[in-house]
Chains A and B, each alone.
Chain A
Amino acid sequence: MDTGNTLLSIRDLHISFISDDTVSRAVVGLNFKVNTGETVCLVGESGCGKTVSSLAVLGLIPQPPGSIEQGEIIFAGRDLLGLSEPELRRFRGKAISMIFQDPLTSLNPVFTVKEQIRETILAHESPGAEALQQRLYKLISSVGLPSPETTLAAYPHQLSGGQRQRVMIAMAMSCNPALIIADEPTTALDVTVQDQIIQLFKSSVQDGSRSILYITHDLGVVANLAQRVYVMYSGLIVEQGPAATLFAKPLHPYTRGLLASLPGTAKRGSLLPGIPGSVPDPSDRPAGCPFHPRCSLSLEACKQRLPQLKECGQNHFSRCPILIHSKKSS
């Protein structure tokens, strides 16, 4: 899938959080990229570094306590890590925009929807009053909200959870960004509303010019939405590949464990295989493969050395030499 039209590429990113006596290594050598027009999902459980990585793209990691120790974040040919704050501000909301998990706390309760979306547009462009009004109307109807007039005049508390998230999406799309980063945007919503929002994301990338980096822990959503998937565990990518391949033939024990944890695939009322143990503390990560203490396949070698990502199929990479080997020999 490396067609040269890479929009965002993160190389060997290391992020740590330093407190009085501990250094918490949240991200330890992250590599991934998003191509133009592609929907990419970053999957993993709480504490694996998904959100921290996405915040780093927009330069939203508070430093200190955070510290980006090494790596580069290349967006459309420019390293975002080298930019100054005013330069970064020109990217935020314009070329790259972000949608957060909780639409209630990410909207300002004392301003109307109109004022908030208008602020985003005016921060980057200066359209005339007439053009601005038309653009707002168009945005509101494009995200499936009823009667633009009333919605624009509404305060966030007057809208339902699903409507608020649509407003957030309208705001994110207001400057026609090349990349939208969505951090668990549907986790707080009901399934039927979640479904509507996912359809909205799908239709927003249809013309092929926009990319989405979608962060979630819900594998069902990933299977519905993503073209490519990165599975993240303990600050690292452990498996990556096209969504269909990855779900059909997962080649990392963590991915397999996540899939086995899902109710709905196992026999009703049976115990779910799941994954024993819990995610390691980023300030005290096990040596070697970070997954080895929870892995049923682990060998002595897994405790010694961190395995590299190896190709195990077309565009499919895994960090588990044992499963890659067993696939080759079978």
Chain B
Amino acid sequence: MTTVRMEHNAILQARGLSKHFPIRKGFLQRPVGWVHALDEVSLEVPRGGTLGLVGESGCGKSTLARIILKLLEPDAGELVYQDREISGLPESLFKPLRKDIQIVFQDPYGSLNAKMSIASTLEDGLRVLGLPKHLRRERIGTLLEQVGLSPDIRNRYPHEFSGGQRQRIGLARALSVEPKLIICDEPVSALDVSIQAKIINQLLTLQKQLELSYLFISHDLNVVGHLSHRVAVMYLGQIMEYASTEDIFAAPRHPYTQALLAATPRVYPEQQNKQPLSGDVPSPIDPPKGCRFHTRCPFGDAECRQAPVPLEAKGSGHVVRCLKAGCDNRNFR
């Protein structure tokens, strides 16, 4: 996977990350199979920019997020944060870096502690930072203002807020420890469109103000396209296509990317080349041999079923995992 050229201005680089989860059965709990959650995933989050990560449920997006947060250790590959390898780092050495990488979750209902007031939710991180008590109060006020909420709400509880407001509180919590990289795991998927627009605006504004980098995970291509500078498309634990946002949207090379774009509902469709993908994503326990997408691909043939397909560079900064990407499949019908 070394065809991906590393850029110098990346805040985080993943190099060949793999993670397989064992399926244990029986009295001795011996592994009887493996879930191929991630297979040799390489990508990078640009400094002060956004990397969008798209794919259907079960493609390994959230596993990748958990590896970056070091909630999981990868089986292979390395993770480099600001020129420092962090994947093998023991917790004691990683702890000072933990505040640099934060996450905002999808579910604004489940990700806040119902029994903690907003102030105490936000205060936890500040305490870890070692901020004295009188400064914490002031900082909580600033944080709430930063995400567009009134500082007066500090003593209220999560149930008193709407979904959009809770997502703002989740964002304030992530910001409280002054992170450099925020992993946004489907932060707007559960929200109504007008609320979604507000959170997207908030993310854009904060990125400029605080020079934040985002890894933005979503299955909504419209949202990813709006926020991201680069986009990686994942399928069954592998990167299928990785390019600048312009290239992904204007000249997608992988049939899977093309199918995702065609399936994304648009109010003003530019072209109507509908060819719905048939079937569901195969199980990651026993992914298809050869190209993992061949079971659903309109171009798949015997060649695709034979051997694993490597990622190949097609133009500057554009990599594709497809044997057929050389032919002109842009008129995908």
Q: Which A residues lie at the B interface, using CB under 8 A?
A: 45-46, 160-163, 190-196, 198-199, 217-224, 247, 257-266, 268-269, 271-275, 278
Contacts and interface: CB of A to CB of B under 8 A. Distances in A.
The 7 closest A-B pairs by CB, nearest first: A220-B265, A264-B222, A263-B226, A274-B197, A261-B197, A195-B263, A45-B192
A45 B57 contact: no
B267 A269 contact: no
Contacts, number: 120
Given A263-B200, A269-B204, A269-B227, A219 B222 contact: no
B285 interface: no
Interface of B is mostly: helix
Contact of A265 (B200, B267, B280): B267
Given A221-B265, A261-B194, A272-B201, A196 B277 contact: yes
26 contacts: A45-B192, A46-B192, A192-B259, A192-B277, A193-B56, A194-B263, A195-B276, A198-B265, A220-B264, A220-B265, A223-B268, A223-B269, A224-B269, A247-B268, A257-B194, A259-B267, A262-B267, A263-B200, A263-B225, A264-B264, A269-B226, A271-B204, A271-B205, A272-B200, A273-B197, A275-B197
B265 A268 contact: no
Contact of A263 (B223, B259, B281): B223
A198 B263 CA distance: 10
Contacts of B162: 278
Given A162-B280, A261-B194, 14 more contacts: A45-B192, A45-B193, A191-B265, A195-B262, A199-B276, A219-B267, A261-B193, A261-B197, A263-B200, A264-B225, A272-B226, A275-B197, A278-B164, A278-B195
Interface residues of B, number: 41
A143 to B, nearest CB: 13
A218 B204 CA distance: 22
A273 B226 CA distance: 13
A11 B223 CA distance: 38
Interface string B247-268: 0000000000001101111111
Contacts of B222: 220, 262-264
Contact of A223 (B197, B198, B227, B267): B267
Contact of A274 (B201, B205, B269): B201
Contacts of A274: 194, 197-198, 201
B221 interface: yes
Contacts of B266: 220, 223, 264
A258 B201 contact: no
Contacts of A217: 192-193
A156 B142 CA distance: 48
A210 B194 CA distance: 32
Given A192-B260, A263-B200, A268 B225 contact: yes
Interface string B186-222: 0000001111111011001100000000000001111
